[in-house]
A and B are shown apart, each in its own frame.
Chain A
């Protein structure tokens, strides 16, 4: 989402004229009316100083941080000012807040060090500074501007993303984009260390063991990659897994770009590209009660040009299919025995196997014939 800054203004409390806008870029953007309505939020009472204030009025959003510097040298014993931004009322301005706060900090420092604002001559430098800020922030989202010999402004618009889901030990990270585009050196050491082990098949616990990195560190590193959209999470692949289609599977038919991406991704290396029909039939062949093994034997003809592991991987990444997990529940138990810890319906086979180290088959053997256990798939 584009956060466009419409105007940058510098407002201060003039000793005789009161609150006014000293400079604004572009000129005349904030009308007299608008300023009158919102000035109480721009040059504020002491209680609101140093707070990030965003006010919406007359189809505009103004974001500012009022500053007050007290000193006997000022007329009225205090300098009050506010360097703020103006956007359209519908804009999401969260990403601009750190910038406004930083700017108020910079100006405060400049004033304390060299009287940058109270000196009429140096104050005029503000106008070209504001102009450059406006242009560069809108163009590239970043701005580096030297102000004087000892001060440089560094600003960057950082878009906020949604919180990532919690990464579990049995989750499998897979690169959402081509791995080659990934610039290793830009990331932290932990991430660099686990990178070679992210192949879309190793789950977190395995990566931790093989890369020799502590489990929680791997989880956090992957969660970080998840936040930036570098990886998505899928589940562990086994031939005994069961999947089923979601309504999104139809997008393979409707959306040409997903089609292309899919056929390129799932086609076996060194073979002719798989046909849409084969791939779609394979996805539609996945249903409750059918394992991947069953699929392979039933659709062997379609699988001639398709790598089934990558087929499943792509299907999960794009939510064309979903995994059906088994959840054991202990329903009949002795009054005296301990309450079930893992067999509660909240923990899947994947999770139980990961936590206890038992293999899937072993767990199955234990539970399938236990009359006290009921198993649900979902």
Chain B
């Protein structure tokens, strides 16, 4: 947990008054300031171990204000880029930003009167100190936040000199405190700055949020909003977090037949949205449901599928939703290997509160073996009880307790005893047709806005969809199509398949040939059903008829398994 939290936040500036440390939080523990070291008696025989013995795990309290100002207020040619500096076990990351000044601020050259020097700020840097072993993606995120705050501050500075005013306040408080401490014990000036400076309070809020929820929401100068989330804090299962790259990869691969499952109630979610959020987002949240796939959601919410993908990805990134396969009777669920099933967990408590009279461990035991929703429900129960059972399944999905299993099929022809050499050399069908493009458009293919309009209402079409093949047995056209489809097989494979009793039926053979490219273990039953507009029973019968050349297995969908199992 500590690896993803910052050690501190620091604001520095550089200008006509030199390099200044304006604010830092948390406040430095004053008793450990470096000056107290030199006061110790130096034993001439002792090894010069410097400050290693005083090294505390929370890195940066060893650094004085002055040195921080020197090293963090960079030269102007480092501005506008990511700033990264590592000193021993502390890593500083920021985005130094140049300020352009409006002509009003410049002192006129022709004015003969003694110039009242207006201290001008040339650049500033909002820096986060992190533990040196922080993950590169965490460092990247922190840099992002620093940059966003910098953009807001630059804007407000240009509009109304906000930063200059706040900086002036901060420095004057610091000056006050230093004159006071000549008499008494040193006090931290930053503590005194907090009540007087909104910017200081904003930085404190940013730091506190990063350490706790990972969600930052600031209003710079009570005007510009800066919002940010640290995915590492938000997406956690047990002690593990999802690396953002894995999350992004998953989001790019979602299909229209997937569904969006909200992790909070509609009401709670809507109340968290900012006032000026997009109406599309609101519509989506209101229309969203665990039984509706993204395509249906697009229709019901009257939005383009591309938009749905984008908003869904956004909600997932912010930890407000996950991607599942829409709930239906035939869905098969099993306990997730990462499910927290401890009887003392807070989950058990929550479950009992949500569903009084029900016990989470007992419910979980029911999913020890894969069970379909249809089996799970008891037809003798009242509709109200049935509805509650569905609610419980939804609850368990939201809390990452269940995974859904899908059926995958692979074509593997029994090797011939006569030609073992040849069999070993040839790659199985799956590897050979690997380059063939997938039939359902994934989120990636919705790159250009224009294509999305075509996709809203119709089912995605594909090269050899059922619409194209004419019904009616042995027509020469159909026969030729079947032959073409089987050409990707080797002669031997074709022979074996044609010798299967079921292959004597031209309808069955045609269906088999048409679906051939799905039989490489990467497309589950539901996907084939969706693309080909087929019923489950049709497919299952086909698999059974050709079972001598097909191998079937059940496991979770790797595209969305990240939401239940982060440790891939």
Contact = CB atoms under 8 A, between A and B. Distances in A.
Contacts of B78: 37, 57
Interface in A282-311: 283-284, 287-289
A250 B521 contact: yes
B272 to A, nearest CB: 33
A55 B85 contact: yes
A54 B86 contact: yes
A19 to B, nearest CB: 14
Given A33-B77, A288-B334, A331-B362, A376 B408 contact: no
B477 interface: no
Contacts of B415: 275-277
B526 to A, nearest CB: 15
A18 interface: no
Counting chain A CB atoms within 10 Å of each CB, which of B424, B520, B557 scores highest? B424
Contact of A247 (B551, B552, B555): B555
A289 B412 CA distance: 25
Interface in B355-373: 359, 361-362, 364-365, 367-370
Interface stretch (A43-51, A126-134, A139-147): A43-51
B84 interface: yes
Contacts of A272: 420
Interface residues of B, number: 62
Given A246-B555, A254-B434, 18 more contacts: A37-B78, A41-B71, A47-B34, A52-B86, A54-B87, A57-B78, A245-B554, A247-B555, A249-B521, A250-B408, A253-B410, A281-B412, A284-B551, A284-B552, A329-B343, A376-B341, A377-B369, A378-B339
A269 B27 CA distance: 69
A329 B412 contact: no
B88 to A, nearest CB: 5
Interface of B: 34, 50, 63-64, 67, 70-71, 74-75, 77-78, 82-88, 334-337, 339, 341-344, 359, 361-362, 364-365, 367-370, 408, 410, 412-415, 420, 423-424, 427-428, 430-431, 434, 520-522, 551-558, 561
A117 interface: no
Contacts of B339: 378
Contacts of B85: 41, 53-56
Identify whether the interface residues of A are mostly helix, strand, loop, or mixed. Answer: mixed
A40 to B, nearest CB: 6
A275 B413 CA distance: 11
Nearest to A248: B558
A343 B430 CA distance: 45
B431 A254 contact: yes
12 contacts: A40-B71, A41-B71, A45-B70, A48-B71, A244-B555, A245-B554, A288-B370, A327-B341, A329-B365, A331-B359, A374-B362, A374-B365
B329 to A, nearest CB: 20
Contacts of A54: 84-87
A254 B343 contact: no
B412 A249 contact: no
Given A40-B71, A47-B34, A53-B87, A256 B431 contact: yes
B369 A289 contact: yes
Contacts of A289: 369
A17 to B, nearest CB: 19
A156 to B, nearest CB: 21
B67 A330 contact: no
Nearest to A282: B551
A374 B359 CA distance: 11
A33 B76 CA distance: 12
Contacts of B83: 56
A52 B88 contact: yes
Contact of B63 (A40, A47, A246, A344): A47
A44 to B, nearest CB: 8
Interface residues of A, number: 52
Contacts of B70: 40, 45
A250 B522 contact: yes
Contacts of B551: 277, 280-281, 284
B341 A329 contact: yes
A37 B77 contact: yes
A289 B362 CA distance: 18
A330 B359 CA distance: 12
Contacts of B427: 256
B561 A247 contact: yes
A58 B556 CA distance: 46
Contact of A331 (B88, B361, B413): B361
Contacts of B74: 37
Nearest to B49: A50
Given A54-B86, A247-B556, A378-B337, A276 B364 contact: no
Contacts of B370: 288
Counting chain B CB atoms within 10 Å of each CB, which of A280, A288, A289, A322 scores highest? A288
Contacts of A340: 343
B365 A247 contact: no
A276 B341 contact: no
Q: Which 5 A-B pairs have the closest CB atoms?
A: A284-B553, A247-B558, A377-B368, A250-B521, A54-B86
A56 B84 contact: yes
Given A253-B410, A280-B551, A376 B368 contact: yes
Given A40-B71, A48-B67, A276-B412, A245 B553 contact: yes
A367 interface: no
B339 to A, nearest CB: 6
A316 interface: no
A35 B33 CA distance: 31
Contact of A378 (B67, B335, B414, B552): B335
Contacts of A33: 77
Given A245-B553, A288-B334, A344 B410 contact: no
Contacts of A344: 342-344
A216 B520 CA distance: 46
B86 A249 contact: no
Nearest to A56: B84
A362 interface: no
A376 to B, nearest CB: 5
A250 B64 CA distance: 57
Counting chain B CB atoms within 10 Å of each CB, which of A36, A50, A276, A378 scores highest? A378
Nearest to A321: B555
Contacts of A58: 77
A178 interface: no
A30 interface: no
Given A50-B50, A331-B362, A378 B368 contact: yes
A51 B88 contact: yes
A375 interface: yes
Interface in A241-263: 244-247, 249-250, 253-254, 256
Nearest to A378: B335
A280 B410 contact: yes
Contacts of B342: 344-346
A36 B118 CA distance: 28
Contacts of B337: 322, 378
Contacts of B420: 272
Contacts of B343: 329-331, 340, 344-345
Interface string A56-75: 11100000000000000000
Contact of B428 (A276, A329, A346): A276
Contacts of A245: 553-555
A157 to B, nearest CB: 18
Contacts of B75: 36-37
Contacts of B431: 253-254, 256
B1 to A, nearest CB: 15
Nearest to A92: B136
B418 to A, nearest CB: 13
Nearest to A160: B133
B257 to A, nearest CB: 18
Counting chain B CB atoms within 10 Å of each CB, which of A50, A250, A280 scores highest? A250
